[in-house]
Structure formats: structure tokens, C-alpha cells
Amino acid sequence: MLTGNADQKTAVDAVNQGHIFRFLNKPCPPQELAKVLDAGLEQYRLITAEAELLNKTLAGSVQMLTQVLSLAMPEAFGLTQEARKLARVIAARIGVGPLWQVEMAAMLMRVGCVSLPSDALRAFLSGDDLSPAHAKLVAETPKLGHSLLTAIPRLEPVANLVLAQNDPPADDTPIAARILRVIGDYQRFASHNVRTALERLRSDQYDSQVVSLLAEAISETSEGKKLTVAELKDGMVLAANVVDNSGRLLIAKGIEVHQAMIQKLVMLRLSSAGVCEPIEVRVAQGSTPQVDAVLVAAEVSQQIFQE
């Protein structure tokens, strides 16, 4: 800001309200003005570089991590994209933000499950009542997830949501954490039946507004289709088991489709065992992974510039 008004109030207002990078008084030597302009351009480059780093590196790394985990532990991480989309719809309707933090927390809320023994993991994800021993192990997973995520720059708010995901809907429980609790338990309960899952969520253990919005989002954003392997796209959810031509199970229902899975099915389709087609899937309406990625990137960039 270049001005002839040098009083202290003008300077304070310019910095605090106008987010001024530098404050210069008239007359200002050309050399000093040139130095300030160069410094401003460099600051802009740093800000945009950080935004690009987050957009391309952080979001891409999280997506790669969840896809790798979905291959290694499909029961726990097979529905990360569905959780992200549901979280986005619900958070947007309530007015919770930043949306990218809620979405990433939804994708990563199960990361602490990597510590669970296989029997405890199966019991937890089945949606059934847990034994005291299993319940104790599961209760520790948000803490582990929080510990893992706090090591990643810019993910501290996401880590805090993961930590609070099992908190009851009290006044001091963040709305975003209530969303995670509802979506996480819905996905566990829905392994049996979607309608039954929604009924189980209608209790004082869950935020009633979030549950209602979840039911709306499910009915509005999903439709069933039968497709060939070549027609599968990222983000679809398997509505039935995928088997080979002899009936042998290849991929269990409820897992979300991603590129690594599609490539695997393409190779299996060319083998002697083949893949039984068509494949039943649930498809989110009005959204694509490419569009979602652009929206998340824009939100991350906007927050960085505000900071």
C-alpha cells in the first residue's frame, strides 16, 4: 500500500483489515518500491506453490494411501470414496467446513484399524455386538489414527476429527465428528441391510439431523446398474459379489471400485477362469471423481490464501 497518509491508525487498519503485505509512505524512492514489488511477487509464488503442493501431493497421497489399504484390507478400506461423498453431501447441507477436511477425515477415519487382529477387525466391520475384548481394541483405533495423521503437515484438523469420531453427540462434539460417527456405523451396519442400518442409527447415540441427511443422501445419490468390466469406473460400489465363471469369489460386495481393481479384473477376464458378467454396482449420480477432485483442490487453495 502506497499512501501519503502516514498516521498510525491508517497503517493498523491497512494491515489488520486490508491484509496489506507492505505499507509505504509517499514519497517513496523507486528502488524501494521495486524491492517491495519483488518481495510481494515472491510471497505470492510461495503461497501458490504451497497450494499446488497440497492440491497435487497431499490429496493425491491420501487417495493413493486409501487405495493401497483397500487392496490390502478391503473390508476396512473398501468404501473410503463412498464415505467421502456422503460426508461431503451431509456437511454441505449442514454448512460445516472446510469441506475438504471433512472429506479427508471420512476417508481416513479407519486408518487406526491397521492395528486390529483379523478376528477383531471382522467382528467390528460386521456391525454385530462386540465382545469386551474386541470393544477395548476397537476403542483405541481413533487414538492410533490420530497419532499417525498428526505426523502429516496440514492434517492436524483432520486428525482431530478422526480422534473424535466415536464421541457421543454432545454439545461440545464437532458436527464433523458426528458425521463421521454416523457414516462409519452406517457402513458397518449396511453390510447386512441398508434399511436395517438406517433404523439402527435412529437412537440417541447419533445426531438425528445427520442421520436424516444421510438417508436423503443415500436415496438421492445412488442407483443400481449392471455393467461389464470395461464399463466400470472409479467410485462405483459393488452391489454383489464378483465371481469367476466357476463361481469362485474374486471380490466381495460392498467394495468400492478403483483403477487397481479394474486392472485386476481386466487381467482376470483374459484368463481361463474369466469374470462373470454383468457386474452389479451402485453408482453415485451427478458426481465424478474428476469433478470432486477439482472441488477439493479449490477449497484447499482458498483456505491457504485466507491464512
pLDDT, greater one: 50 or 189: 189
Q: Which three cell numbers stand for residue 113?
A: 484399524
**What average pLDDT does range 81-109 have in this prediction?**
90
pLDDT at position 16 is: 63
pLDDT at position 212 is: 95
What element of type H or E holds 188?
A: helix 175-189
**What average pLDDT does range 224-246 have in this prediction?**
89
What is the rounded distance in angstroms from the CA atom of residue 193 to the CA atom of residue 217?
16
Q: Which residues of 123-132 are buried (b: 16+ CB within 10 A; e: fewer)?
A: bbbebeeeee
pLDDT at position 288 is: 45
What is the rounded distance in angstroms from the CA atom of residue 272 to the CA atom of residue 269?
8
**What average pLDDT does range 270-286 have in this prediction?**
84
φ, ψ at 242 (rounded to 5°):
-95, 125
Q: Which residues contact 1 (CB under 8 A, 6 or more apart)?
A: 14, 18, 20, 22, 23, 24
* Residue 170: pLDDT over 80: yes
pLDDT at position 183 is: 95
Cβ atoms within 10 Å, residue 118: 9
* Low-confidence winner among 1-15, 42-56, 64-78 (lowest mean pLDDT): 1-15
Alpha helices for 95-174 (secondary structure H): 99-108, 118-125, 132-139, 141-149, 156-163
Q: Express as a percent the part of the chain with pLDDT over 70.
A: 83
8-state DSSP, 58: I
What element of type H or E holds 187?
A: helix 175-189
What is the rounded distance in angstroms from the CA atom of residue 49 to the CA atom of residue 35?
21
**What average pLDDT does range 245-261 have in this prediction?**
84
What is the three-class DSSP state of 192? coil
* Residue 301: pLDDT over 50: no
pLDDT at position 214 is: 94
Cβ atoms within 10 Å, residue 220: 12
* Residue 284: pLDDT over 70: no
pLDDT band at 8 (very low <50, low <70, confident <90, very high): low
pLDDT at position 74 is: 75
pLDDT, greater one: 143 or 295: 143
> What is the average pLDDT score of the chain?
82
| Per-residue model confidence as pLDDT tens digits over 188-226 | 888 777 888 899 999 889 999 999 999 998 877 667 889
* Residue 96: pLDDT over 70: yes
Please tell me the pTM assigned to this model: 0.69
pLDDT at position 162 is: 96
